[in-house]
Amino acid sequence: MLCHLTARRVFIFKQFMAARYLSLVQEKAFVNGVWTEAKSGTTFDVVNPYNQSVVAKVPDMSTGDAEKAINSAYEAFRTWQNVPAKERSSLLRKWYQVVDSNKEELAKIITAESGKPLKEALNEVLYGNSFIEWFSEEARRIHGEIIESPVGTREIMVVKQPIGVVGLITPWNFPIAMITRKAGAALAAGCTCVVKPAEDTPLTALALAKLTEEAGFPKGLFNVVTCSRDNAPAVGKLICESPKVAGISFTGSTNVGKLLYKQCAQGVKRIGLELGGNAPFIVFDSADIQKAVGGAMASKFRNCGQTCVSANRFLVQENVFDQFVSMLKQEMVQQLRLGDTTKPENNLGPLINQPQLEKVESIVKDALQKGANLHVGGNRASSVGPLFYEPTLLTGITPDMRCYNEEIFGPVVTVIKFKSEEEALDIANNTHSGLAGYFYSSNMAQVRRVAKQLCVGMVGINEGIISTAEAPFGGVKESGIGREGSHHGIDEYTFIKYLCVGNL
Ligand code: NAP
């Protein structure tokens, strides 16, 4: 009898979870608090990269639709900018709570549209939600200052105010976190948002919008405009150039980032850019090799290598080179399981789409044609699914190879041998990118020297995973402008106003 009751409860729970999942999969965009179709009535398919099934159809919006979203955010800003920080904080906290209550369903949506392993998707939800939590707390700490005036009858006051409507353009590789890292900070500061998610992953953005509804957000605060890759340039241009938009925050490729930077120049818009990386991962002779291999696995294979801070060039000192390569190969062969990413036993998913698969494949072919040594992998894993690529390990890398210079964004490890610290730093810094860098060493003097000399915005020292809401995320050189997360993340969305109080 007891067993029967338990089975029934499990059944009801499963039905409830399935219904909850379906209620979060929205097939309309979210504009001014209303679920909206494109004016043209057109839609595009959201495709599961694992098996190419159509998960949903969402509106293919164009500039007219985006304009409505901008107008609604503009109207909402009139009120939201004056809402006391404590209330903004409370509303964000509610959003955090509803996201947390729906984390399993959100993870399923991420896996369905991005192919990311379910466990990783759940971790991304927790990570993404940590920005909502963090900025709900930071909302109450946007302080001004009083500065000592040189004139006795005057007082100098400095206040921080929200910049206005912000356009948030985000990529597919972290469908939730790349939105919350921006929107959490923007809303905390008193800005309102128009989100343009990637064509591949609009469902997570729409689910987040659904949860803003459940959290009781006023209309117009958080808008999501979905559009196909064909419409993205026009919609992006409108968002950059609209006089009603005060700033843009973009995460994505360096090429598109440069284009948006140009488009924002006309209106001298505030811009935050989180762009591509080409992270060096240096292993010095003194390193704990076991730990370095563990860090390499985590850094390289998370999200199938489709991570902007993923290690792209492994530089290993000559005395430990063979040991590192052999241990890494062993880990790759033993640990990585390709397959249906909804199943817990599989930890390596497909690439996001056909162009990404072809890019990875051509980078490997180019290296092999130019003389690289193949230790494992090197082919598509088509028997698993149309977008799978084998985990691949290459050595004998030379500067003329594409993998030396380009962000691979796939499950491919390239290892370069070096002799001296100076040589390692020369190779590491010989790139236009400067997002993250990693190194393993147990020599404290070397740790200080190398950490200082790496030309990147973030350094992992004896650590392969470094992102967290508390720390500033961002790059130097062509990897971007500005920082997200940490207390610096709010700065992107506020401006400083100086008040001179005279005749006191
Ligand atoms: P992407 O092609 O630049 O796309 C990013 C976003 O921009 C998508 O929403 C995309 O829409 C949109 N977009 C594309 N062309 C546009 C245009 N002309 N105007 C306005 N918007 C446009 O980049 P991705 O391939 O999605 O993402 C991979 C890149 O992002 C990698 O280089 C990676 O390193 C970088 N990334 C950086 C960070 C960071 O924090 N630094 C984090 C994650 C990823 P569609 O999807 O519809 O094309």
CATH code for position 192: 3.40.605.10
Q: Give the C-alpha separation, 242 to 368, whole Å.
A: 47
For 189-245, how does the pLDDT look when each residue is reduced to its tens digit (9 = 90+)?
Answer: 999 999 999 999 999 999 999 999 999 999 999 999 999 999 999 999 999 999 999
Torsion of CA 265, 481, 129, 48, to 10 degrees: 70
**3-class DSSP state of 24:** helix
Q: Closest Cα to residue 324, out of 332, 354, 216?
A: 332
pLDDT tens digit string along 132-170? 999 999 999 999 999 999 999 999 999 999 999 999 999
Q: How far is CA 468 from CA 128, 273, 425, in A?
A: 9, 18, 26
Model pLDDT, residue 13: 60
The pLDDT of residue 22 is 86
Specify whether 209 is located in the same domain as 329.
Answer: no
On whether the CB atoms of residues 380 and 351 are closer than 8 A, the answer is: no
Examine the domain organization and report whether 99 and 243 are in the same domain. Answer: yes
Q: Domain check: are 283 and 262 in the same one?
A: no
Pocket test for ligand 1, best of 45, 238, 253 (most atoms within 8 A of CB): 253
Is the pLDDT assigned to residue 2 strictly greater than 90? Answer: no
The residue nearest atom 10 of ligand 1, judged by CA position, is 198
Q: Of 240, 259, 275, which residue is a domain's last?
A: 275
What single DSSP character describes residue 396?
Answer: S
| Domain presence at residue 504 | no
pLDDT value at 1 more than 90 = no
Residue 53 resides in a domain: yes
Closest to 120 (Cα-Cα) out of 297, 384, 344, 408: 344
Structural domain contains residue 348: yes
Best probe residue, ligand 1, of 308, 358, 360 (max atoms within 8 Å of C-beta): 308
Distances (CA, A) of 3 to 37, 42, 466: 47, 50, 45
Please give the full DSSP string across 123-140, using - where no structure is assigned.
HHHHHHHHHHHHHHHHGG
Q: Has residue 141 been placed in a domain? A: yes
pLDDT of res. 260: 98
Residue nearest atom 36 in ligand 1 by C-alpha distance = 252
Residues 72, 260: Cα–Cα separation, whole Å: 22
- The residue nearest atom 30 of ligand 1, judged by CA position, is 252
Domain residues for 410? 279-473
Cα(408)–Cα(398) distance, rounded to whole angstroms? Answer: 15
Tell me how far CA of residue 220 lies from CA of 71, 73, 384, 436, in angstroms.
Answer: 8, 5, 43, 35
pLDDT above 90: residue 323: yes
The least confident of 14-18, 111-115, 222-226 is 14-18
Residue 481 lies in a domain: no
Tell me, yes or no, whether 116 and 207 share the same domain: yes
Question: How confident is the model at residue 5, as a pLDDT?
Answer: 57
How would DSSP label each residue in 67-88? HHHHHHHHHHHHHHTTS-HHHH
- Is 483 domain-assigned? no
485/132 Cα distance (integer angstroms): 10
State the total domains in the chain: 2
CA dist 29 and 172 (Å) reads 17
- The predicted pLDDT at position 442 comes to 98
CA 122 – CA 170 distance, rounded (Å): 19
Give the domain-ending residue among 251, 275, 299: 275
Question: Helix and strand tally (H, E) in the chain?
Answer: 15, 20
Q: Which residue has the higher pLDDT, 3 or 292?
A: 292
Same domain, 38 and 170: yes
| Local confidence band at 7 (pLDDT 50, 70, 90 cut-offs) | confident
Is the same domain home to 239 and 290?
no
Domain boundary among 213, 240, 275: 275
| Domain shared by 200 and 345, yes or no | no
Q: What's the rounded Cα separation, in Å, for the pair 192 and 198?
A: 20
250 and 326 housed in the same domain: no
Same domain, 304 and 447: yes
Q: What is the pLDDT of residues 326-376, one digit of tens each?
A: 999 999 999 999 999 999 999 999 999 999 999 999 999 999 999 999 999
Average pLDDT over residues 5-21: 71
Shared-domain flag, residues 269 and 284: no
Mean pLDDT over each residue of the chain, to the nearest integer: 96
User: Is residue 3 over pLDDT 80?
Assistant: no
Q: What is the CATH number of the domain that holds 317?
A: 3.40.309.10
pTM, two decimal places = 0.96
Is 11 inside a domain boundary? Answer: no
Ligand 1 site, CB within 6 A = 169-174, 178, 196-200, 229, 232-233, 236, 251-253, 256, 259, 274-277, 308, 407, 435, 480
Instruction: Determine the Cα–Cα distance for residues 262 and 265; give it in Å rounded to an integer.
Output: 5
pLDDT digits (tens, 9 = 90+) for 236-269: 999 999 999 999 999 999 999 999 999 999 999 9
Looking at the fold, whether 71 and 147 belong to one and the same domain comes out as yes
DSSP per position, 426-464: HHHH-SS--SEEEEE---HHHHHHHHHHS-SSEEEES-S
Q: What count of other Cβ atoms lies within 10 Å of the Cβ of residue 426?
A: 11
Q: Indicate which residue's Cα is closest to atom 48 of ligand 1.
A: 229
* Tokens matching residue 330: 């062993």
State pLDDT tens for residues 424-461: 999 999 999 999 999 999 999 999 999 999 999 999 99
Percent share of the chain, pLDDT over 90 = 95
Q: What's the pLDDT score for residue 19?
A: 83
- Ligand 1 pocket mutation, candidates 44, 58, 168, 169, criterion most atoms within 8 A of CB: 169
> Do 194 and 136 sit in the same domain of this protein?
yes
- Amino acid in position 180: T
Residue 20: pLDDT band by 50, 70, 90 thresholds? confident
Is residue 484 one of the residues assigned to a domain? no
